[in-house]
Amino acid sequence: MSEYDRYYNFSAGPAALPLPALEEAARDLVCYPNAGASVLELSHRGKVIDGIIKEAEARLRRILSIPESYHVMFLQGGATTQFSMVPVNFLDANSTAVYLEQGTWSKKAIAEAKRVGNVEVAWSDKDNNFTRVPADNEYEVRPDAKYFHITSNETIHGVEFHRDPKSNGVPLVCDASSDFLGRPIDITKYGLVYAGAQKNIGPAGVTVAIMSDDFYKKLIEDDRRPIMMNYKTHVENHSLYNTCPVFAIYMVGLVLKWLEEEKGGIAGIYKDNLAKAELLYKAIDESDGFYKGHAAVDSRSIMNVTWRTTSDELDKEFAKAAEAQHMLGLKGHRSVGGIRASIYNATSIEAVEALVEFMAKFKKEH
Ligand SMILES: Cc1ncc(COP(=O)(O)O)c(C=O)c1O
* Amino acid at the residue 233: T
**pTM, two decimal places:** 0.98
What's the 104 CA to ligand 1 centre distance in angstroms? Answer: 10
Q: What length is written for the chain?
A: 366
Q: Which helix (H) or strand (E) holds 116?
A: none
The yes or no reply on domain 265-365 and CATH 3.30.420.40 is: no
The minimum-distance atom of ligand 1 relative to the CA of 81 is: 11
Q: What is the mean pLDDT of residues 322-345?
A: 93
**298, 313 in Cβ contact below 8 A?**
no
Q: Region 289-315: what's the mean pLDDT? A: 96
Question: Which residues line ligand 1 at a C-beta cut-off of 6 Å?
Answer: 13, 78-80, 105, 151, 155, 175, 177-178, 196
Q: Are 351 and 10 in contact (CB under 8 A)?
A: yes
Distance from residue 79's CA to the centre of ligand 1 (Å): 5
Atom of ligand 1 nearest to the CA of 196: 10
What is the rounded (10 degree) CA torsion for 297, 302, 303, 305? 40
CA 141 to ligand 1 center in whole angstroms: 24
pLDDT value for 334: 76
Tell me what pLDDT residue 151 has: 98
Measured in whole angstroms, the distance separating CA 100 from the mean position of its chain's CA atoms is: 17
Name the DSSP class of 353: H
The residue nearest atom 7 of ligand 1, judged by CA position, is 79
Closest CA to 343 of 16, 5, 21, 7: 16
Quote the ligand 1 centre to 80 CA distance (angstroms): 6
pLDDT given at position 155: 98
Q: What is the pLDDT of residues 79-134, one digit of tens each?
A: 999 999 999 999 999 999 999 999 999 999 999 999 999 999 999 999 999 999 99
364 CA to middle of ligand 1, Å? Answer: 36
Closest residue by Cα to residue 169 from 141, 203, 150, 131: 141
Q: Which atom of ligand 1 is nearest to the CA of 207?
A: 10
Nearest to 283 by CA among 312, 311, 318, 317: 318
The SS3 call for residue 134 is coil
pLDDT digits (tens, 9 = 90+) for 222-253: 999 999 999 999 999 999 999 999 999 999 99
The 3-class secondary structure across 187-240, one letter per residue, is HHHCCEEEEECCCCCCCCCCEEEEEEHHHHCCCCCCCCCCHHHCHHHHHHCCCC
> Regarding the domain delimited by 23-261, which CATH topology (the fold level of the hierarchy) does it fall under?
Aspartate Aminotransferase; domain 2 (3.40.640)
What is the domain partition of the chain in residue ranges?
A: 23-261, 265-365
Catalytic residues: 105, 175, 199
Cα separation of 169 and 160, whole Å?
A: 22
**Residue whose CB lies within 8 A of the most ligand 1 atoms, among 107, 155, 173, 180, for a mutation test:** 155
Q: Whose CA is nearest to atom 10 of ligand 1?
A: 78
